[in-house]
Amino acid sequence: MAALSLGMPAIRRSPSAAPSIEGRPDVAGLVDRFGRVARDLRVSITSACSLRCTYCMPAEGLPVIPRDELLSADEIARLVGIAVRDLGVHEVRFTGGEPLTRPDLVEIIALSAAAAPGTPLALTTNGIGLDRKAQALADAGLSRVNVSLDTLDREHFTRLTRRDRLPRVLDGIAAAHRAGLGPLKVNAVAMRETLHDAPALLAWAIDHGCRLRFIEQMPLDADEQWKRDNMVDADELLEVLGERFVLEPVGRDDPSAPAEEWLVDGGPATVGIIASVTRSFCAACDRTRLTAEGSVRSCLFGDDETDLRGMLRGGADDATIADRWRAAMWGKQAGHGIDAADFVRPVRSMGGIGG
C-alpha cells in the first residue's frame, strides 16, 4: 500500500492490489458485507475553501492539492457515469472543501449531467459565490443545493467560520431560490457557541422557504478539539428549540435518510436533526464517496481508500474501474465506532474527505 501525504499522517491507499472480494455475491451494485447497498455518491472536488469553520478546517486551510492530482471535469464525469450506469447509484452530490472555489464547477455539472442523464445532481456549499453561479449551475443540470449556515448572528458566524462573510451566504441562498435550485436545505452544525441562535435560525428558515437540518458535530475537525462530553447532542438541541416551538417527531423520510424530522408548531414546516453521533445511522448507510484525488472512500471514518485516478489515467476500461469500486465497497466497515473504547479519528478532517 502506498502512502498519500496531505501534510498529515499517512492514509492507507490501495493503488494497485485489488481489495479482497471473498464471499461477495455476483451482483452489479455496490453491496457490502453487512447487506448495505450504496446508491448515494458524494464526490469531493476540492479541499480548498473560502471559510475556515472551526469544526472542519484548520485556520490556515488544508494543504493545496496540486492541480494534476485533482480529478479533471472529464474524469469526474466519467466516474459519475460509471457509478450511475454500472453500479446502481441513484443520486450524486458534489462537495468539498468548497465546490464553488473550483472555476470549472459549471463544466463539471454539465459533463456529469450528460454522463448520467436524469440522475439528480446536488451540491453542498457554503453559499459564497453562489449569487454569481446559481443560474448557470441550474442551466448546466444541477438539481438542488444544500447551503451550510450555522447562525444568523454575524459576530458568531465570523468567530465560527473565521471569516466575516455572512451577507455573502445569504446572497447565495437568495440566488439559489431564484434559480429554482430547491427544495433548498440549510445545514447547521450544532455547536455550543451558537446553540442559542438555533431558534432564530429555524424561524428564519421557515420564513425563507428553507428546510433546516441540524447536524451533530462529528470528530472530524482538523484542530482535534471535538470532545464527546462537550458536544451538543440532539436532546439538548431539541430542548433549546422547544423553548420557542412545539415540536412533534415524525420520523425519517425514508430509512436511509440521515435526518429525523420534527413537525414545527403543528406544521407544515419541519426541522431535521442528523444525530450522526448519538443515534448513528451507519446500519442504513447508503453512501459511497470519491475524494478530490479520485479515490473511493466507503466511510467518512475509514482511512482505507482505493485509487481510481491511476486506473483512469492508465487506460483502464469502465468495466475494470467498476469492478475495483465494487471491491472497495465490499470492504466497507460496519460503522464509525465513535463510542468504542478503541475509536481512532480518521487521518483526514471533514474538508479533506468531503462531507
Instruction: Confirm or reject binding of residue 212 to ligand SAM (CB under 6 A).
Output: no
Closest among 287, 331, 342, 266 to 93, alpha carbons compared: 287
Ordered alpha helix ranges (H), the chain? 73-87, 105-115, 130-140, 154-161, 166-178, 198-207, 234-242, 309-313, 318-330, 350-353
98 vs 304, which CB is nearer to ligand SAM? 98
Of 92 and 312, which CB lies nearer to ligand SAM in the complex structure?
A: 92
Q: Is 53 annotated as a binding residue?
A: yes
Question: Which residues are 306's β-sheet partners?
Answer: 14, 296
Beta carbon nearer to ligand SAM, 86 or 286: 286
Cα distances from 237 to residues 45, 204, 247, in angstroms, run 32, 17, 12
Measure the CA–CA gap between 210 and 309, rounded to whole angstroms. Answer: 37
CB of 302 to ligand SAM, least distance (A): 16
CA–CA separation, 338 vs 343, rounded Å?
A: 6
Find the binder of ligand SAM among 46, 72, 161, 217 (CB under 6 A): 217
Is 287 marked as a binding-site residue?
yes
55 annotated as ligand-binding? yes
The answer to whether 311 is a known ligand-binding residue is no
Q: Is the dihedral of CA 309, 314, 319, 325 positive or negative?
A: negative
Q: What mask, x for binding ligand SF4 by CB under 6 A, covers residues 62 to 101?
A: ----------------------------------xxx---
Q: Which does 218 bind (CB under 5 to 8 A by kind): ligand SAM, ligand SF4, none?
A: ligand SAM
The only residue of 11, 41, 56, 166 in contact with ligand SF4, by rule CB under 6 A: 56
Number of residues that bind ligand SF4 (CB under 6 A): 13
Asked if omega into 255 is within 30° of 0 (cis), the reply is no
In angstroms, what is the minimal distance from the CB of 83 to ligand SF4?
Answer: 22
How many residues interact with ligand SAM (rule CB under 6 A)?
20
49 near ligand SAM, rule: CB under 6 A: yes
